[in-house]
């Protein structure tokens, strides 16, 4: 069965510092991989996605993620964090076939200190 692990429950980063949020997945083949963000009191917004091809994908708000098959990882990065990036971040995976559903990690809460 597919599963997603986000090892960090809570991370605090200084404004302007770089950010990396970790995500590991378990799946037999290469799945579709996603990162979503949820700001307080808001719905989930898609940051970026990976299906195939270039293993470094660019998303919205200056985020990027790198797919590493050998490590079953899909870590999210941002070179310089802004206070507005404080939110909860979810990594998710879905199989490349109809009739399946996104499976989410438990999320990482990002706090940004000034």
Partner 1 sequence: DVKVTQSSRYLVKRTGEKVFLECVQDMDHENMFWYRQDPGLGLRLIYFSYDVKMKEKGDIPEGYSVSREKKERFSLILESASTNQTSMYLCASSLTTGADGYTFGSGTRLTVV
Considering only residues 25, 78, 107, 112, which one is a binding residue for partner 1 as defined by CB under 8 A?
107
Applying CB under 8 A, among 29, 69, 98, 114 the residue interacting with partner 1 is 98
> What's the CA gap between 47 and 60, in Å, rounded?
5
Please tell me the distance from the alpha carbon of residue 114 to that of residue 69, in angstroms, as a whole number: 35
Interface characters, 43-62, with partner 1 (x: CB under 8 A): xx-x--x-x-----------
| 106 counts as binding partner 1 under rule CB under 8 A | yes
The dihedral over CA atoms of 7, 33, 104, 77, expressed in degrees to the nearest 10, equals 40
Binding of residue 103 to partner 1 (CB under 8 A) = yes
Q: Does 29 bind partner 1 (CB under 8 A)?
A: no
Tell me if 86 contacts partner 1 by CB under 8 A: no
Could you give the angle at the alpha carbon of 26 between the alpha carbons of 44 and 22, nearest 5°? 55
């Amino acid at each position: 069965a597919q599963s997603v692990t986000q090892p960090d429950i809570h991370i605090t980063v200084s404004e302007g510092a770089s950010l990396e949020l970790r995500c590991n997945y378990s799946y037999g083949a290469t799945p579709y991989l996603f990162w979503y963000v949820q700001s307080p009191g808001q719905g989930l917004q898609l940051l970026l996605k990976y299906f195939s091809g270039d293993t470094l994908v660019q998303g919205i708000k200056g985020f990027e993620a790198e797919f590493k098959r050998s490590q079953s990882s899909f870590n999210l990065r941002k070179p310089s964090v802004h206070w507005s990036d404080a939110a909860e971040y979810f990594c998710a995976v879905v199989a490349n076939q109809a009739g399946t559903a996104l499976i989410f990690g438990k999320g990482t809460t990002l706090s940004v200190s000034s």
